[in-house]
Amino acid sequence: MAKKHKNIIITLTAAMLMAVVGTAGVFSSGTASAESGTWKVIAVAAESADTIYVTQGRQMLKVRMIGIDAPEASSRANTKKGCYGSQAKTVVKKLALGKNVRLVADPNVPDKYTDGALMRYVYTPEGWDVGASMINSGAAKEYTYSRKTYTYRSWYRKLKTDAYNANRGIWNKKICSMNR
């Protein structure tokens, strides 16, 4: 019963945050641009589930989700495949692939990541924060970019602690013993 109440509280918290974010316009500027509006998720990055590709009309953008670090889903020249990487990619695909998402900038975070990707919170049409959902399910860790605090940092850290304590995803020692 306690787990059910915890899920209800998380759902209500997400809904309240979406109401605040939706009415407060937490964008880096007030104009319609790459950080606002509805975008369709067309792909999840091959290398990691914390990066997605979105399109609006003929414009395509690479987006790095604020506050999360997902394990690598495939090996590249400069990366090593991480434990739970392919599962994390499956989670983000279920949450966002093919859906029209809302991108929201954070005034405390640089506009772009080191690889040029936009840094944004990503919200599903139902109002779910994809990054928070990834952390809560154990498909990603909380990540603070360049020691810069971001708006939902304390909430994301709490979600990480909850996932860790519940042995979800990357925190399940039977699956990923190196993360414990």
pLDDT digits (tens, 9 = 90+) for 141-167: 999 987 778 999 999 999 999 999 999
Give the pLDDT band of residue 75 (cuts 50, 70, 90).
low
Question: Which domain range does residue 87 map to?
Answer: 35-179
Beta-sheet pairing, 68-69 with 141-142? antiparallel
User: pLDDT, tens digit, for every residue of 8-41?
Assistant: 333 333 333 333 333 222 222 223 345 456 688 8
Does residue 4 have a pLDDT over 80?
A: no
Give the pLDDT band of residue 178 (cuts 50, 70, 90).
low
User: pLDDT, tens digit, for every residue of 76-112?
Assistant: 544 456 788 889 989 998 998 888 899 999 999 988 9
Q: Is 139 domain-assigned?
A: yes
Q: Is 18 domain-assigned?
A: no
Q: Is 27 domain-assigned?
A: no
Q: Is 140 domain-assigned?
A: yes
Q: Is 25 domain-assigned?
A: no
Give the pLDDT band of residue 179 (cuts 50, 70, 90).
low
Q: How many domains does the chain have?
A: 1
Q: Is 41 domain-assigned?
A: yes
Q: Is 28 domain-assigned?
A: no
Scan for tokens 């994390």, then name that residue.
Answer: 88
CATH number of residue 127's parent domain: 2.40.50.90
Q: What b/e string do you get for 166-176 counting C-beta neighbours within 10 Å, with b at 16 or more?
A: eebbbbbeeeb
The alpha carbons of the chain give a radius of gyration, in whole angstroms, of 16
Beta-sheet pairing, 51-56 with 141-142? unpaired
